[in-house]
Amino acid sequence: MTHCTGYHAAAVAPSDEVAAIGIDAEANRPLRYREMLGLITTAEERAWIAEMESAYPDVSWARLVFTAKESVFKAWFSLTRYRLGLGEIVVRVNPLSGEFHARTSTPHGNGGDAFPNRLTGRWTARDGLLVAALSIRRSARVQEEV
């Protein structure tokens, strides 16, 4: 589930196929406090955000990275009951394909099960909103570091 001013959404999937879903929505506007960037992003993400802000000014890239990380947090927590910090999630957004890739630095399991620490999701910027979502399939395995 997610909500923000003017938008509410929920996602469902067959539980025998999908282990978890994460979805988040935010207004497509700059973060209120620029210093938040240091709390929610890595130095590499901040450099990328600066590049994207120049190339594609119609998207709040900092808020999009936050939104993608929130979608990862929601899916991860529903599986592991572990509260990932936003600093434990690194996001790379493809500005053209509508896809993002996330990596968690803490591969926790639940009851001995290992969950993937590399995830792929989708994002969109439309109608004044940023929406990011991903799902973790039941058959997902921990992926090797590339």
Domains of the chain: 2-137 (3.90.470.20)
Radius of gyration of the CA atoms of the chain, in A: 15
pLDDT at residue 36 in the model? 85
pLDDT at residue 80 in the model? 85
User: What is the pTM for the complete model shown?
Assistant: 0.87
pLDDT at residue 96 in the model? 94
**Above 60 in pLDDT, residue 143?**
no
**Above 60 in pLDDT, residue 145?**
no
**Mean pLDDT over residues 119-134, rounded?**
96
Ordered alpha helix ranges (H), the chain: 36-40, 43-55, 61-80
pLDDT at residue 71 in the model? 96
Tallying the residues shown for the chain, one arrives at 146
pLDDT at residue 121 in the model? 97
Instruction: Please state, in angstroms and as integers, the Cα–Cα distance from residue 33 to each residue in 5, 29, 30, 128, 134, following that order.
Output: 19, 12, 8, 19, 27
CB 64 within 8 A of CB 132: yes
Q: Above pLDDT 70, what percent of the chain?
A: 88
pLDDT at residue 79 in the model? 85
- Model pLDDT for residues 13-60, shown as the tens digit of each residue: 999 999 999 999 999 999 887 778 888 999 999 999 999 999 999 999
Q: How confident is the model at residue 138 (pLDDT cuts 50, 70, 90)?
A: confident
pLDDT at residue 117 in the model? 79
- Model pLDDT for residues 98-111, shown as the tens digit of each residue: 999 999 877 665 54
